[in-house]
Amino acid sequence: MSFTIAIDGPAGAGKSTIAKLVAKELECIYVDTGAMYRALALYMVRKGVDIHDEKKVEAELAGADVSLMYDKGELKVMLNGENVAGIIRTPEVSEAASVVSAYRQVRKELVRRQQLMAEKTDLVMDGRDIGTCVLPSADLKIYLTADARVRGERRYKELLEKGEECDLEEIIRDVIERDRRDMTREESPLRQADDAVLVDSSYMSIEEVCSAILDLVKDKKKNCIEIRVCKTAGFCFGVKRAVDKVYECIESEEGPIYTYGPIIHNEDVVAELEKKGVKVWDDDSKGEKGTLIIRAHGIGKERMRKLQSIGMNVIDATCPFVKKIHKIVSEKSAEGYNIIIAGKKDHPEVIGITGWCEGPFYVVSEPEDLDNIPFEEGSKCCLVSQTTFNHNKFNKIVAKFKKTMYYGLVFNSICNATQENQEETARVSEWADVMLVIGGKHSSNTQKLNEIASERCEHTYFIQSSDELDPAWIDHADRVGITAGASTPQNIIEEVKTKCQKKVLRNCWKKM
């Protein structure tokens, strides 16, 4: 798990100098965001792109792979595998960097890459919106500032040492004006994050500031809880695909837009879509015909035909992994196999699967349910599973199925993402003192994650959003684990993590 430090503050506060020293002491990466913009600018210059044409610059972004790495203490600025650290300080590249860094899409893309770096490695990053925008979930946030006159005097001294003539009062006025512009700019204004530690360096040496920040890092790691978020938590492929399809239709389709049942088992997402005019359709719905999106759970064959027959523009966003099950049960039941589905019989996905069975079928949720199946001895049976079924329970059902009197085929149709999330949830739950499971109360896969976590962690809490998180739950915890169902958006997971971090900050840090 990476440890990230965000240092923000006004110009002249010594952020870059301090950030580099802290990174060196902690033996982690100092993210020189300016170097990343310069490397991107170098790419545009080499490609002959008109840097004053924002659209052309945006079109070339995907071709520039920019990253940072350290080798024996030396910063390497990598551009498509080449270390360009020694050639990005030329006047031409500097001018190009100044131009392209102002483009919204360029900033958005480099912020995305910086965030990816933060997920994978320990780092220190400085700027004016790092803790508020770039790394809002940083483990430690510092707001490094100094009195405007002190910063002006520092700049005045630097210029004199270079032999340049300057006026101290004019420099101080410039410092104050730059602060005003940075703090009032429309996009990502300079401000102290709510959970940032204020460090005033006005009357501190560089060594003292660095030491103070290192002490905060030490206290953070020693006294504060560790928060571990399952990497597999949140939207799965099928759910993301279905939700994206709804948003695409909002932009492109005319007339009313419906989803067949709630698009996912997440009340926040459904409520947001309702605000955009998307309504939920069921078999009893009546109203103006329009576009109807089939959710990831899928529906039965006859129900699909009925919807198409009433004049709806049906867009099928059924998860491809669910579609595969439809194909299996349709083909095998046509070949004379009785179908057994491991799942929850009233779950929309299972109901949809049964709608593709051409003959007898039976739904089981426990190994013991196999004892009650009315198929005759020697019957041909085909066993499949709901994509979000409990992996361990399915294995037990399979073990018993193989000992029955039936001639059987077994298809493990549990989605890989579901299986991985369940396995990771089990590991994190065994490690954690407190486990938070995030997802809709009606989400089958989230309910299963809650079962898995509860079996391994006594203090497991099932919540839908950060509003339901009681900070008292983590008062005496050293390790907090977070997992989430396939219908939980990433922003809700981040909100829960941030609320946990703020609780930690209140307990462990004192403002300087």
Structure confidence by residue, pLDDT tens digits, 399-447:
999 887 667 899 999 988 888 999 999 999 999 999 999 998 888 889 9
Overall pTM surpassing 0.75 (yes/no): no
* DSSP three-state, residue 200: strand
User: How many Å separate Cα 486 from the centre of its chain?
Assistant: 12
Looking at the chain, the whole-number percentage of residues with pLDDT higher than 90 is 51
Looking at residue 29, what is its pLDDT? 87
Mean pLDDT of 13-41: 89
Tokens encoding 484 = 């989430």
Average pLDDT, the chain: 88
Give the CA angle between residues 449, 453, 459 to the nearest 5°.
Answer: 135
Looking at residue 283, what is its pLDDT? 67
Using the CB atoms, write b or e for 330-368: b if 16+ within 10 Å. bebbeeebbbbbbbbeebbbbbbbbbbbbeebbbbbebe
Looking at residue 508, what is its pLDDT? 42
Residue 153 φ then ψ, to 5°:
-65, -35
* Catalytic positions: 349
Mean pLDDT of 300-329: 92
Q: Which residues, including other chains, have CB under 8 Å from residue 213's CB and lie 6 or more apart?
A: 5, 7, 18, 22, 142, 199
pLDDT in tens, 32-55: 888 888 999 999 999 999 999 999
Looking at residue 502, what is its pLDDT? 64
Phi/psi region, residue 52 (left: phi>0; alpha: psi -120 to 50; beta: rest), is: alpha
Which residue spans of the chain are classified as CATH 3.40.1010.20?
Answer: 321-414, 422-508
Residue type, 23: A
Residue 194, burial from CB neighbour count under 10 angstroms (0-12, 13-18, 19+): exposed
Q: Which of 262, 258, 254 is nearest to 278 (CA)?
A: 258
Contact assessment for residue 68 and residue 74, using Cβ atoms and an 8 Å cutoff: no
Using the CB atoms, write b or e for 488-499: b if 16+ within 10 Å. bbeebbbbbbbb
The answer on pLDDT for 345 being more than 80 is yes
From CA 211, how far away is CA 313, in angstroms rounded? 65
Residue 476 φ then ψ, to 5°:
-115, 20
Class of domain 29-121: alpha beta
Residue type, 333: S
Which residue spans of the chain are classified as CATH 3.40.50.11270?
Answer: 237-318
From CA 384, how far away is CA 329, in angstroms rounded? 8
pLDDT in tens, 204-246: 999 999 999 999 988 777 656 788 999 889 888 888 899 999 9
From CA 351, how far away is CA 156, in angstroms rounded? 75
Which residue spans of the chain are classified as CATH 3.40.50.300?
Answer: 1-10+124-223, 29-121
Run of H or E including 341: strand 338-342
Class of domain 1-10+124-223: alpha beta
Tokens encoding 215 = 């002490």
- Topology, domain 321-414: Cobalt-precorrin-4 Transmethylase; domain 1 (3.40.1010)
Query: Higher pLDDT residue, 341 or 97?
Result: 341
Mean pLDDT of 187-203: 89
Q: What distances in angstroms separate CA 257 from CA 3, 217, 311, 315, 445, one per listed residue? A: 44, 51, 13, 10, 27
Sheet holding 123-127, edge to edge: 29-31, 123-127, 4-8, 140-145, 197-200
CA atoms within 13 A on the CB side of 434: 21
422-508: in CATH 3.40.1010.20? yes
Q: What distances in angstroms separate CA 506 from CA 4, 194, 215, 503, 512, one per listed residue? A: 18, 11, 17, 5, 13
Run of H or E including 275: helix 267-275
* Other C-beta atoms lying within 10 Å of the C-beta of residue 421: 28
Q: Which residues, including other chains, have CB under 8 Å from residue 427's CB and lie 6 or more apart?
A: none
User: How many Å separate Cα 284 from the centre of its chain?
Assistant: 37
From CA 178, how far away is CA 195, in angstroms rounded? 24
User: Residue for token digits 């099932």?
Assistant: 462
CATH architecture of the domain with range 237-318: 3-Layer(aba) Sandwich (3.40)
Contact assessment for residue 436 and residue 468, using Cβ atoms and an 8 Å cutoff: no
Using the CB atoms, write b or e for 103-122: b if 16+ within 10 Å. beebbebbbebbeebbeebb
Tokens encoding 398 = 């399979």
